[in-house]
Each structure stands twice: as C-alpha cells, then as structure tokens.
C-alpha cells in the first residue's frame, strides 16, 4: 500500500513518500516521515514492515555516521548504496528485513543519483524509481514524462501529476512528504496539490 | 639484569621504552634505503638492492621490495621481507574487502591505517615479536589525490612529501631530500632527486641497474599507471641523469 517515488532532476533528486502507517484495515498514523536523511546529501526512503524499516534505516544511518567520524569524509552515494545492498543481501540469508528502499543522493563529483533496492538485496541505479503499488500506476507516467534534466519546478509538477494519478485510480490515499537533495543539501518542499 | 625489560614485547622499561619495538626499528636500518617522493603528477619509489649475487636468479620477479597492493596503491619495503609478505597479503585482502563492500577502491589512508593497526597489535599483545618492517605506501584516491605514507614497526604512520626508510645513512637521505624538494616538483625531477639521494647514501660505484630499483606511480588520463623500470630503462636513466648533473656542475 505504500508509495515511494524518487527521480533525478537537473542538479538534484526529488523524493516523495506517503505518510501512512497501516495495520490490517486500520490507519494507525498519517504523519510518518518515511524519507530519512542519512547525512547532508543522502535521502533514504523506506517502505515495508514498519519495525524493520525503523531498525534497518537506523542501523544504516549510524554506520554511515561512524564511517564519516572515522575518516573525516562521507561515503559517496554509490558506495553507500552498495553497502546497504550488501547488508540486505547478508540479512536475507539469516535474519531477513522486510524493507524496500530508494536511496537518493548528491555527490560533488558524480552529481545526483537514484538507487533502487529491494528486500532481497537487488540494486539498480536508475533515473527514476518507485516502490509499492504506486509503481503499477506510475511507471508508465514517468516513462512518458520524466527526463533527467527537468527543472526543479517541472519536477515538482511531475510529482503532483503522479499523486493526482494515484488519487484518481489508487484505492488508498493520504498525505505525502516531498524532499529535495542538491548541492546545497536537503530541503523539504511543502507538498499540496 | 640489564636485559630485564627487553625479553617481552609488551612491557615498558622504567624509562618508558618498549625495547622490542626499538630493536625492530634497528633491524630496518640494516636493510637497503628506500626513498619515496611525492611529485605534483605522481610518486617515485626508489630503493637500494642489497641481495645481489651473481648466481641469484631474478628472472621470475623483477622487483625485490616494491609490491602492488591494488590498482591504486603500491608499497615499498624496508626490513624483513618475509614479515612484509604477511602484511602485504593482509593489505591486499583488506583492499579487496573494501571494494566488495562499497564497490569503490579503498581510500589510501584507510588501508595504511588498517595495516598499522595490525602492526600495533603485535607491540601490545604478548608472546610474539613485532613486525620488523617499515613501509612506504604510494597511492591515489579521489579524496586526497596522490599520497605518500610511511609506517614503522610501532604502528605509527604519517603522510610525507618526501622521505626515506631503512639504510644506515637515513640522516643524509633526509637532509638531501629536505634541501632539494620543491612543492611543485615534476615526476621526472623526482626520479632524478631519488637517484641523487641514493648516490649520497650508497657507495658511488654501486650506482647501477643491478643495485637499484626504481618505480613510479602516475596517472594517464583516468588510468592509474604503476611502472617498475626494467634494467635497460634504469641503466639509460642513470646515464642520462649523470650527464645532467655534470652539465649542472659545469
């Protein structure tokens, strides 16, 4: 039922996530932040078992913090993505975490990038990525309208287009949170249609 | 009871020294000198070969004390080579482990720091002797570019612009480097400076391709290049450099 979308725009990445915590047929919460800032230039969106998401994303963020304290610089987005992948791949063979992730980041050398990860330990570098049922509704739309050199305003417009589509056809709805990572760091963009 | 405090590696003497570590450093003095110079476009590692014998077959390994750890890091050894082999094996493993986790080459300082942690362990946990090796590490990474590090048996390491390890005349080597090093030195000049250092620390008659090892580490475009001079190249380089020096003297 959860929705995670991230895509590359000119000079940064936009990440959107729904804010619902659902258990069975009950909506427990509708103001959850599912996009964690791992450091000043990385956003990790997580969907799946709520407890696993909290546990695993905290584990990842503390490990990245430890790396930066030890070495005096942060891990690159690519390196972080591969680290997360290897942790997921190791955990599914002993203590599986049921989490699906999208890592969005900005690097001085590599620019903006989006990585799609799932609970089985697959990793894909993409220009746009979706998790959850949203993917069924939105991949076609993003195929048609997304370009990596979209301006930030056009990117936000495309996010709104995605959410409009979900509100038209998808059974479940609620509030959404939108964040942007660029060379200036992470900002939250107020999101209303 | 003069030797009370040097039997164990892990015990301080009353003056606050750990003798076994100091003995290991003395062992390194008996090895041939190794010089490292950081240039603006690369790094030079040069060494004196001590084990030259007429009947020694060197055809299988061109280098006695220069080792490639990974595509972006190499090291030169002074001290007990068999001890060094253990650490080099560990360094190669560490480097590949980092790559396996992050799919990125290990930053040079992290690699050096890991090897030094191992070295330090042998000065603190008892029953064994420390590694009798100093290393010079030459490497490149995206964080700090070209880097030259030195490590010793105690597990200390530092970054240097130009330094030397091993050799009986290390004071001479250091002073030649100090007075000749420029911050914008080119790789070619660094090679010549390394030769100059070795001519001052070694017997002048021993300056030939049998007694020397020269290598350099540089970048050609995005490609990292590590080259060990073969005997012909080395002989040619020595000849050319000697001529240059005479020209300067005149």
> Domain limits of chain A?
3-189
Q: What is the torsional sign of CA B133, B138, B144, B149?
A: positive
Give every CB contact of residue B240 below 8 A, 6+ residues apart in sequence. Answer: none
pLDDT in tens, B24-49: 888 888 888 999 999 999 999 999 98
Contact between residue B217 and residue B149 where contact means Cβ atoms under 8 Å apart? no
- In the predicted model, what is the mean pLDDT of chain B? 89
Distance of CA B92 to the CA centre of its chain: 16
Torsion of CA B75, B81, B84, B88, to 10 degrees: 60
**Residue of chain B whose alpha carbon sits nearest to that of A90:** B101
The domain defined by A3-189 folds into 3.60.20
Q: Say yes or no to pLDDT of A15 above 50.
A: yes
Of the pLDDT bands very low, low, confident and very high (cuts 50, 70, 90), residue B247 is low
Selection from A144, A112, A160 nearest residue A7 by Cα: A112
Best mean pLDDT range from A78-92, B21-35, B40-54: A78-92
How far is the C-alpha of B71 from the C-alpha of B222, rounded, in Å? Answer: 12
Contact between residue B108 and residue B158 where contact means Cβ atoms under 8 Å apart? no
Report the residue of B99, B101, B110, B222 to disrupt the A interface, i.e. the one with the largest count of A CBs within 10 Å.
B101
Q: Hey, which residues 126-165 in chain A have their CB within 8 Å of chain B?
A: none
Asked if A73 has any chain B CB less than 8 Å from its own CB, the reply is yes
Q: Which domains does chain B have, with CATH numbers?
A: 21-48+63-249 (3.60.20.10)
- Closest-CA distance, A113 to chain B, in angstroms, reads 16
Q: Which of B100, B109, B142 sits opposite A109 (nearest CB)?
A: B142
Mean pLDDT of B219-247: 85
pTM exceeds 0.95: no
- N residues, chain B: 250
**Residue of chain B whose alpha carbon sits nearest to that of A67:** B110
Q: Hey, which residues 37-66 in chain A have their CB within 8 Å of chain B?
A: none
pLDDT in tens, A107-125: 999 999 999 999 999 999 9
């Amino acid at each position: 039922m959860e929705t995670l979308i991230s895509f590359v725009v000119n000079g940064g990445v936009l990440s959107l996530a729904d804010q619902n915590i659902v258990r069975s047929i009950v909506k427990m919460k509708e103001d959850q932040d599912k996009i964690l800032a791992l450091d000043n230039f990385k956003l990790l969106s997580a969907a799946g078992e709520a407890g696993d998401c909290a546990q695993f994303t905290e584990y990842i963020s503390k490990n990245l913090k430890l790396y930066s304290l030890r070495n005096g610089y942060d891990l690159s987005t690519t390196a972080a993505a591969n680290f997360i992948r290897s942790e997921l791949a190791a955990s599914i063979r002993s203590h599986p975490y049921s989490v699906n992730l999208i890592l969005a980041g900005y690097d001085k050398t590599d620019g903006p990038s989006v990585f799609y990860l799932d609970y089985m330990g697959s990793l894909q570098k993409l220009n746009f990525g979706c998790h959850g049922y949203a993917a069924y509704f939105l991949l076609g739309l993003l195929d048609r309208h997304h370009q990596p050199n979209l301006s930030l305003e056009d990117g936000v417009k495309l996010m709104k287009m995605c959410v409009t589509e979900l509100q038209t056809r998808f059974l479940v709805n609620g509030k959404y949170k939108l964040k942007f990572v660029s060379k200036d760091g992470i900002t939250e963009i107020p999101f209303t249609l | 009871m003069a030797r009370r405090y040097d039997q164990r590696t892990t015990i301080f003497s009353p003056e606050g020294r750990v003798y076994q570590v100091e003995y290991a450093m003395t062992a390194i003095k008996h090895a041939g000198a190794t010089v490292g110079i950081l240039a603006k476009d690369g790094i030079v590692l040069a060494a004196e070969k001590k084990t030259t014998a007429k009947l020694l077959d060197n055809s299988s390994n061109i280098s006695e004390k220069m080792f490639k750890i990974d595509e972006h890091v190499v090291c030169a050894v002074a001290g007990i080579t068999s001890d060094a082999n253990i650490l080099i094996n560990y360094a190669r493993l560490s480097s590949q482990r980092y790559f396996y986790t992050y799919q990125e080459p290990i930053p040079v300082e992290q690699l050096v720091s890991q090897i030094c942690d191992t070295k330090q362990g042998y000065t603190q946990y008892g029953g064994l002797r420390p590694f009798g090796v100093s290393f010079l590490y030459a490497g490149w990474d995206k964080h700090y570019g070209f880097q030259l590090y030195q490590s010793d048996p105690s597990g200390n390491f530092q970054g240097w612009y130009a330094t030397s390890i091993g050799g009986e005349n290390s004071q001479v080597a250091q002073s030649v480097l100090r007075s000749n090093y420029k911050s914008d030195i080119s790789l070619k000049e660094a090679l010549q400076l390394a030769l100059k250092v070795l001519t001052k620390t070694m017997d002048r008659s021993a300056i030939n391709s049998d007694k020397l090892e020269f290598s350099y580490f540089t970048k050609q475009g995005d490609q990292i290049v590590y080259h060990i001079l073969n005997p012909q190249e080395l002989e040619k380089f020595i000849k050319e450099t000697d001529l240059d020096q005479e020209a300067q003297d005149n």
